[in-house]
Amino acid sequence: MAAHRDPPGHRASLWNFAPAFVVMATFFSAYAVFVHTSFLQAIPGTAQLGDKITLSNYLKYFTSEVELRILRETIWISAKIMVLAFLLGYPVAYIIVRAQSNWLRNLLLASIVMTFLSGSVTRAYAWLVLLGNSGVINTLLIKLSAIAKPVQLVYNEVGVFVALLHFVLPFFVLTMMGPLKNVNRAYEEAAINLGASRVQTFLRVTLPLSLPGIVAASSLAFAMALSAFIFPLVLGGGRVRMVANSIYDHIFTSFDFPFAAATACIFLVISLSFVRAFTALQNVAMRHLYPKSA
């Protein structure tokens, strides 16, 4: 009996995926090394690692009130960023998609795109200049006699929150524009013809139909805020620490690579859990809006 052979086209198609497999294997090998390191233990006074497998780093993390507090604050700040990104970003995306005026649409799009022309570090230091005690905002408020002395807007959560929201908001708007474009205007016109006001049409037709897009854009905003590093570092001044900053300190200040690896692994699992929750929520919204016909 002749041996079964794959057709040449099938073998060629597998080779086409080889570069992708190499890239994915490289990334996953880095994660594998990180996971392996998290089960080791640092030798005190050195940057060397022991060869004994242990769970002590994970136990240390879950029994550390400082680390758990940083995790709670990171999730809380990210959740607030997500909510405010929705409240500010949804109307902007709606105006861009539905605006009759080309100049207004182009102005808003240009304002959003311009934010991508500067890096995170540049934006962080720009906000430091704007929000500082001698910055533009405090100077203007003092000249207008609105305040008697500068308000502390940096080296606290306020500065981190403002800068991080400015960073996340354009991503939310651009992600939200696609789902809003896909909302069929015929449904809105039908609702208006049946006597619904524009507010009722928006609340009962447009908003529900764009719900899957809201979930997708919100999950992106939450994930980006969750992994923030440079904004808490520059505008937090060491007083506002998020998980990424904690991992950095464990590596470059304490030289405790195993504990940093364990922190990163725990944070990765938590982040993936949130992503999975958002995905499940999006699937529920899709099933509710577009039920399969029997």
Q: Is 33 within a domain?
A: no
What's the mean pLDDT in 76-86? 96
Q: What is the largest CA-CA distance in the chain?
A: 95
Judged against a pLDDT cut of 90, whether residue 26 lies above it is answered with no
Residue 38 · residue 265 · CB < 8 Å:
yes
Best-predicted range by mean pLDDT (60-69, 149-158, 208-217): 60-69
CATH of the domain at 145: 1.10.3720.10
Judged against a pLDDT cut of 80, whether residue 109 lies above it is answered with yes
Q: Is 279 within a domain?
A: yes
Helices vs strands, H then E, count in the chain: 15, 0
Name the 3-class secondary structure at 99.
coil
- How many domains are contained in the chain? 1
Q: Is 282 within a domain?
A: yes
Measured between alpha carbons, how far is 212 from 205 in angstroms, rounded to an integer?
Answer: 13
Give the model confidence (pLDDT) of 169-208 as tens digits.
999 999 999 999 998 888 888 988 888 888 899 988 898 8
Q: Is 162 within a domain?
A: yes
Output the pTM of the full model.
0.85
What's the mean pLDDT in 268-293? 82
Q: What is the pLDDT of residue 291?
A: 66
Q: Is 11 within a domain?
A: no
Give the model confidence (pLDDT) of 247-264 as tens digits.
999 988 888 899 999 999
Q: Is 85 within a domain?
A: yes
Q: Is 138 within a domain?
A: yes
Q: Quickly state the pLDDT bin for 1 (edges 50, 70, 90).
A: very low
Residue 61 · residue 209 · CB < 8 Å:
no
Q: What is the pLDDT of residue 42?
A: 80
Q: Which domain holds residue 281?
A: 56-289
